[in-house]
Amino acid sequence: MNQPLQNLEQLLDRVGELTHHNDRVSIEMVVESIGSRSFGPLLMLIGITLFSPLSGVPGMSFFMALFVLLVAVQMLIGRKKFWLPHFILDRSVEHNKLQKALDWLNKPARGIDRVLKPRLTFLVHRGGSYGIAVLCVIVGLCMPIMELVPFSSSAAGLALLALGLSLVAHDGLLALLAFVIFGATFTLIAVNLL
């Protein structure tokens, strides 16, 4: 059984191992590799996908929005192990596209992991994690609108990545930063659409 992830580099390494043995890498393969009990790594995975060049794959934002909603709602109802439907689990990407995105993310991941540490933990445990889940539901519902505003889904992906990392590293300060990024993203959307 895989050890729990503790940082972003470990997540990228674990997903990267899948590219060495498969022509296509499905979400089900990734979920199995990171474990089905950890919501933080799943949010990290969604955030990485939206922030990376993979977000340009047709239909990826729609599937990631469904993924966010499913993860967040299950966090809200207190499930210990999450469930995903097969139409999401079966979604896949070519291994070379995935490896290119992972290579692109490796250097920033090292820098991010150096500054993570447990702090303001009340923001990522119990009540705080419910607040994170509510915010993720809102983001998932707003993602179709984000398709109309350039770079807004990438900004939301960055914030989701930060939220996932905050849950993994128990870093409440990072969760606060994610809330600020979401606020700026929603402001950008409002300014562009009104």
DSSP 17-80: HHHTT-SEEEHHHHHHHH-SS-HHHHHHHHHHHHHSGGGGSTTHHHHHHHHHHHHHHHHHTT-S
Question: What is the average pLDDT score of the chain?
Answer: 82
1: in domain: no
**Domain region containing 157:** 8-193
- 139-167 pLDDT, tens digit per residue, is 888 887 877 777 787 888 888 888 888 88
The pLDDT of residue 56 = 66
> What integer is the mean pLDDT of 40-67?
78
Inside any domain, residue 2 = no
pLDDT value of residue 173: 92
Q: Is residue 3 part of a domain?
A: no
Task: Specify the number of domains making up the chain.
Answer: 1
Could you tell me if residue 38 is inside a domain? yes
pLDDT band of residue 1 (cuts 50, 70, 90) is very low
Is 132 a member of any domain? yes
